[in-house]
Chains A and B, each alone.
Chain A
Amino acid sequence: MKNIWNFFAGTLLLISKGSKAYYCWVLLLLVLMAIGASAFLRQFDQGLIVTNMQDQVSWGFYISNFTFMVGVAAAAVLLVIPAYVYEWGPIKEFAVLGELLAVSAIVMCMLFVTVDIGHPERFWHLIPKLGRLNFPQSLLAWDVVVLNTYLALNLTISIYILYNLYYKREPNHNFYTPLVLLSIPSAISIHTVTAFLYNGLGARPFWNSSILVPRFLASAFCSGPAFMLLIFLLVRKYTKFKIKDEAIQKVAEIMAYAMFINLLLLGAEIFKEYYTDSIHLNSFQYLFQGLHGHSALVPYIWTAMAFNVTAFFLFLVPSTRKNTITLVIGCVLVFVGVYIEKGMGLVIPGFIPDTLHEIYEYSPSNTELMLAMGIWATGLFVYTMLLRVAIPILNGDFHVADDGVSSYIGDDLFIVRQDDAEGETVVAEPVPARE
């Protein structure tokens, strides 16, 4: 117990230290979080009327972001499989960074759902025994279960490993391996269940397609790793933490295959709808061409298509995959492309036209944008903090001191700088003078 407290106190001390850039970055995130919080208070007070959602389009920007973030949480599994199942060294060294990303992504998922519901204070109705969780009937109940399981697994695994490394102990293989193996089907399950959530609704032909689950999985194996690769490239550049080329290449290669499957499945859906040309085509028409003069999503989806196809070729061709610049471009394109396609591009057309064929064209309100920004900032804040602790531990710069009580902190400086392109976190620390 005392050890845990000492570890915790040490991490608090660690995260309070850093360079100017680190402080600025954290401050920026805190400001954005405060803006988001104020937007939430306003929404809580006045109701969801401050959003642009209506009865016709009853889910909007929040649920779009939620859906996308469930995909990002997959990132971990793409590292976990080669690392722990195939015991592939190059990836195993940093698999924990993926698990921490999953943790941050799930936190964001939960926040996005919380701000979307009308009575967040009634959350206890979802707790089994205390409330009345409609399990196994409701897929939303399933989602509550699998998301929490996945969060718990990733938290346990990563904290356990980091905690032991901090105390210079070899993590007990027999304890964490079963958890890691369990986290693989668990990662698959969060995507499957989230896709089923939409998939099972006969009322919404746009979602009621049997290949929705594989589509979700395929795109999830692109978006999460894209974000992770960007982080790895930066970690590698600005810290002495070494990530081998072959590891990054392998992830990029898997992304190319995943993107191919994603595009293939989307193409299959488009063919089926357009060739059949039934009434169910309407939502696809709205998304890709516009319907009865309503075409808000059209430019976005074509941007996403262009991004995804371009990124596919960038990752497929070995020379562009190996070139850092084209690799970074590819990652950004995938991230944005999937964000559009599996966010607003998936959720909104399900409601347009609505079940009585009315068209209400939705776009998020300022409150929705501010609140969503606040949640993104929260996610980045959580990930920054986790990396601030994890990277020095993995580097051997943060561990228990010789007295066995206080902690040794090898790097006071922790540089975090904002990337122009995406606003991604860039985590870095200077290479110490002595090696």
Chain B
Amino acid sequence: MSEITKVDYIQHRSRRKFLKGLAAGVGLIALPSKDAAAAVWDEFFQRHFRELSRDELKGVIARLEKDYSKKFAKQVTVKTTPPIEGVLYGYGLDLSRCIGCRRCVYACVKENNQSRDPQIHWIRVLQLDKEKGVDLSHAEHYYNPDKVPEKGHFYMPVQCQQCEKPPCTKVCPVQATWKENDGIVVVDYNWCIGCRYCMAACPYGARHFNWGKPNLPAAEMNPVTHYLGNRPRPKGVVEKCTFCIQRTREQPGRYPACEEICPVGARKFGNLLDPNSEIRYLIENKRVFKLKDDLNTQPKFFYFYAT
């Protein structure tokens, strides 16, 4: 252990002890129902996800699984699967195929346990004019015809672009959001203070705030969750697309829900580091663009025209 990390480690330990002592002390004061109060204080004094030791993480996960299972009356699992080595996720979206049906929007809501009321959508589909091209200032957000696609229009779904240089993580005052090694930008909902600076910084409108208490019907709750992804969120924190971290990090993995549901195959997903992946083929052989390229956020979400 080098000198610096040693100091860090010692500081960590003493802080951990201090917090634990504080938690125990305050827990004693709040006597009424001993277990419930203890859980509340455990949650209050829970440290940052990346600072938790193996044992502490176990405790946190056990607490969360117990809470969620009770609340939603089903066995809920909270995974903490780490990134897979040698994987950098990339997403492709074929603008020449997308028909604007919004199935991806609702598949995402279902998979990722978003609040139904107030409604939170991680994907926003824009209706654009073929004449004007990709010009956001003429985008229609709330198109609602009987049938899509409409003549003269094309459709552009926008979600988290999983930037290589995310402006949102940089501004967070408490490091509650960060980019993982597989390129996914995640949020620790137990650490976020809800200042919404990241929402001001995101150029894609990809971050969403739980303005009220999220309303997630127990029957519709997806019990397979990831700590950094689709586990139920409290009110007052920011959330966003994680490329379905609870699916894509598993081995064998599954495609993100939006990719899976797309009826026209407009959505592509894969490993940017694998030269034989479909996403690499598309980037190398199709007309590709990145949204707001000039901001140098370096999205790993690629729009392309296959035809």
Q: Is B11 on the interface with A (CB-CB < 8 A)?
A: yes
Contact of A55 among B175, B176, B205 (CB under 8 A): B205
Total number of B residues with any Cβ neighbor in A under 8 Å = 51
Contact A201-B213, Cβ < 8 Å, known A140-B197, A358-B141: no
Q: Is B61 on the interface with A (CB-CB < 8 A)?
A: no
Interface segment out of the listed A80-88, A131-139, A213-221: A131-139
Q: Within residues 163 to 220 of chain B, which ones have a CB less than 8 A from any CB in chain A?
A: 167, 170-176, 191-197, 199-205, 207-213
Shortest CB distance B15–A (Å)? 6
Contact A119-B124, Cβ < 8 Å, known A55-B208, A356-B139, A356-B141: no
Is B210's CB under 8 angstroms from A279's CB? no
Shortest CB distance A139–B (Å)? 7
Q: Is A122 on the interface with B (CB-CB < 8 A)?
A: yes
Contact A203-B203, Cβ < 8 Å, known A48-B211, A49-B118, A131-B174: yes
Is A122's CB under 8 angstroms from B171's CB? no
Total number of A residues with any Cβ neighbor in B under 8 Å = 51
Is B197's CB under 8 angstroms from A356's CB? no
Q: Is A118 on the interface with B (CB-CB < 8 A)?
A: yes
Q: Which of A46, A125, A144, A350 has the most C-beta atoms of chain B within 10 angstroms of its own C-beta?
A: A125
Closest residue on chain A to residue B12 by CB atoms: A129
Chain B residues within 8 Å of A353, by CB: 137
Chain A residues within 8 Å of B51, by CB: 132
Contact A118-B192, Cβ < 8 Å, known A129-B11, A132-B48: yes
Q: Is the interface of A mostly helix, strand, loop or mixed?
A: loop
Chain A residues within 8 Å of B136, by CB: 356-357
User: How far, in whole Å, are A143 and B93 apart by their CA atoms in the complex?
Assistant: 39
Contact of B158 among A55, A279, A350, A356 (CB under 8 A): A356
Q: Is B244 on the interface with A (CB-CB < 8 A)?
A: no
Q: Is B104 on the interface with A (CB-CB < 8 A)?
A: no
User: How far, in whole Å, are A201 and B136 apart by their CA atoms in the complex?
Assistant: 19
Q: Is B87 on the interface with A (CB-CB < 8 A)?
A: no
Is B209's CB under 8 angstroms from A141's CB? no
Q: Which of A130, A131, A144, A356 has the most C-beta atoms of chain B within 10 angstroms of its own C-beta?
A: A356
Shortest CB distance A203–B (Å)? 4
Is B175's CB under 8 angstroms from A132's CB? yes
Chain A residues within 8 Å of B167, by CB: 201-203
Contact A134-B141, Cβ < 8 Å, known A202-B167, A356-B205: no
Is B209's CB under 8 angstroms from A58's CB? yes
Is A355's CB under 8 angstroms from B205's CB? yes
User: How far, in whole Å, are A49 and B208 apart by their CA atoms in the complex?
Assistant: 13
Shortest CB distance A252–B (Å)? 36
Shortest CB distance A371–B (Å)? 15
Contact of A140 among B126, B191, B195, B207 (CB under 8 A): B195
Chain A, 348-367, contact with B by CB distance < 8 Å: what is the 0/1 string? Answer: 00110111111000000000
Q: Is B281 on the interface with A (CB-CB < 8 A)?
A: no
User: How far, in whole Å, are A141 and B204 apart by their CA atoms in the complex?
Assistant: 23
User: How far, in whole Å, are A133 and B203 apart by their CA atoms in the complex?
Assistant: 24
User: How far, in whole Å, are A54 and B11 apart by their CA atoms in the complex?
Assistant: 40
Is A118's CB under 8 angstroms from B200's CB? no
Is B158's CB under 8 angstroms from A134's CB? no
User: How far, in whole Å, are A203 and B294 apart by their CA atoms in the complex?
Assistant: 11
Shortest CB distance A43–B (Å)? 10
User: How far, in whole Å, are A355 and B176 apart by their CA atoms in the complex?
Assistant: 22
Q: Which of B11, B15, B210, B235 has the most C-beta atoms of chain A within 10 angstroms of its own C-beta?
A: B235
Chain A, 184-198, contact with B by CB distance < 8 Å: what is the 0/1 string? Answer: 000000000000011
Is A58's CB under 8 angstroms from B176's CB? no
User: How far, in whole Å, are A49 and B176 apart by their CA atoms in the complex?
Assistant: 22
Is A279's CB under 8 angstroms from B137's CB? yes
Chain A residues within 8 Å of B199, by CB: 55, 58
Q: Is B27 on the interface with A (CB-CB < 8 A)?
A: no
Shortest CB distance A347–B (Å)? 10
Contact A47-B137, Cβ < 8 Å, known A132-B48, A140-B173, A201-B167: no
Contact A58-B137, Cβ < 8 Å, known A126-B193, A130-B19, A202-B295: no
Chain A, 374-418, contact with B by CB distance < 8 Å: what is the 0/1 string? Answer: 000000000000000000000000000000000000000000000
Chain B residues within 8 Å of A198, by CB: 200
Chain B, 134-154, contact with A by CB distance < 8 Å: what is the 0/1 string? Answer: 001111010000000000000
6 contacts between A and B (CB under 8 A): A117-B236, A118-B209, A133-B174, A138-B173, A140-B195, A356-B139
Using a CB–CB cutoff of 8 Å, the interface residues on chain B facing chain A are: 11, 15, 18-19, 44, 48, 51, 118, 124, 126, 136-139, 141, 158, 167, 170-176, 191-197, 199-205, 207-213, 235-237, 295-297
10 smallest beta-carbon distances between A and B, as pairs: A118-B194, A118-B236, A49-B212, A203-B203, A140-B173, A49-B211, A47-B235, A125-B174, A58-B199, A357-B136
